[in-house]
Structure 1
């Protein structure tokens, strides 16, 4: 069993439904969802290009998948998540857009969002005491020799290369897309996610996802609400 701390909107949020339909799987129920053809791209190609993110479900990584350290229980993790969320306040990313990270497409902030960077760093640090060290096989899967020095340090120290200064919030929508299909995919995603882009995305919870066994699809175990955003200008967390 591995756990991950992700952001995902609520199960009935229109963005969750749209992204789950696009990826072909609902991470809340585990149900497979049918995929339709699109102009210029058939459903079987979409299924192939979304295979990687389909296993994880629609999410943004905050604390990458980890095993609990010896002596730590799931109940302790859930209690820690609840306590963390009580002490941190909901906030909004001012605008999200369809972006391309190398050959992958994702929903990303339109601009750097300092509260988001701070929140992500807090998640990484707060739950580190519960994480079991990576095995040598886990480290090898990340191909550490290909990482920049800081990313390699992050992997060995925090279990994931892309934390703190290396963190970039992204809600993955595809696996690697061949260069000759990238323009078509960009246009398709722009159209499909137009109701959700160039507008705020509320970060209002922290979700615990579980991987029942290695390689199995991830499922939402629970979503834990952050404290409501203050209305009087006071901020804590």
Structure 2
């Protein structure tokens, strides 16, 4: 497992929602292969263009953002720590998900904030932090291009990512930035509606890894069994 460039802990849905999200993006992170885009009518932009940015990550929601392994650690140790962490945490149920515009992109998000999910993410970020190498100067510069607040800059320096802890907002990204975000949101709300009629149960977390081609693969899924 050490051949990968970066690792992260994600929510990776299962069943019909995962299938719909993967065929929308064009990448199945569980099978580790491209999939044909599902046909979606009335899009204002080409589907391959809309999904180019999130495709490499697969259909997921980030819990611990991707990181390079710290010196003295290895992927097997990270996997063992992730398994042990998940064994202490209970599942989280999101009553409803919805398709929403977030700035210039579109994502699936909880209809209402979930304190349990935010607490799970914060605990994972802190609990696995010993496996994270400090970000490079290039990575820090890239993050700062977004125009971080003082609080986000502090999070970046402490945790290697500016949108964790109190800045965490769970989302499953569906598009890159697009000037047609409002129109795409309306189309995708209809497209995903059949899969959003029931509560969304998060019963496991997935250890994911970025390969040489820049796409993420699911390595292990660990049940939340605490």
TM-score using structure 2 length: 0.93
Match of 1:224 among 178, 203, 222: 222
Say if 1:40 and 1:121 are closer, same or farther in 2 by CA, change over 3 A.
Answer: same
The whole-number CA distance in structure 2 between the counterparts of 1:100 and 1:182 is: 6
Deviations 1:155-178, CA, capped at 9 Å, x for gaps: 111011001111000000111121
- Residue pairs, 1:162-181, within 5 angstroms: 162-178=163-179, 181=180
Q: Cα distance, 1:36 vs. partner?
A: 4.7
Structure 2, unmatched stretches of 5+, are none
The whole-number CA distance in structure 2 between the counterparts of 1:87 and 1:36 is: 38
Structure 1, unmatched stretches of 5+, are 228-236
SS at match of 2:28: coil
Q: Following TM superposition, where does structure 1 have runs of at least 4 consecutive aligned residues deviating by more than 3 angstroms?
A: none
Match of 2:35 among 33, 47, 57: 33
Q: Cα distance, 1:94 vs. partner?
A: 1.4
SS at match of 1:154: helix
- Residue pairs, 1:4-43, within 5 angstroms: 4-10=8-14, 13-41=15-43
Aligned residue pairs total 222
Q: Cα distance, 1:182 vs. partner?
A: 2.8
The whole-number CA distance in structure 2 between the counterparts of 1:104 and 1:111 is: 19
- Residue pairs, 1:76-225, within 5 angstroms: 76-143=77-144, 146-178=147-179, 181-197=180-196, 199-213=198-212, 216-225=214-223
SS at match of 2:113: coil
Look up the match of 1:65.
Answer: 66
Look up the match of 2:50.
Answer: 49
Look up the match of 1:230.
Answer: none
SS at match of 1:196: helix
Contact between 1:97 and 1:198, CA under 8 Å: does it hold in 2? no
Q: Cα distance, 1:148 vs. partner?
A: 0.4
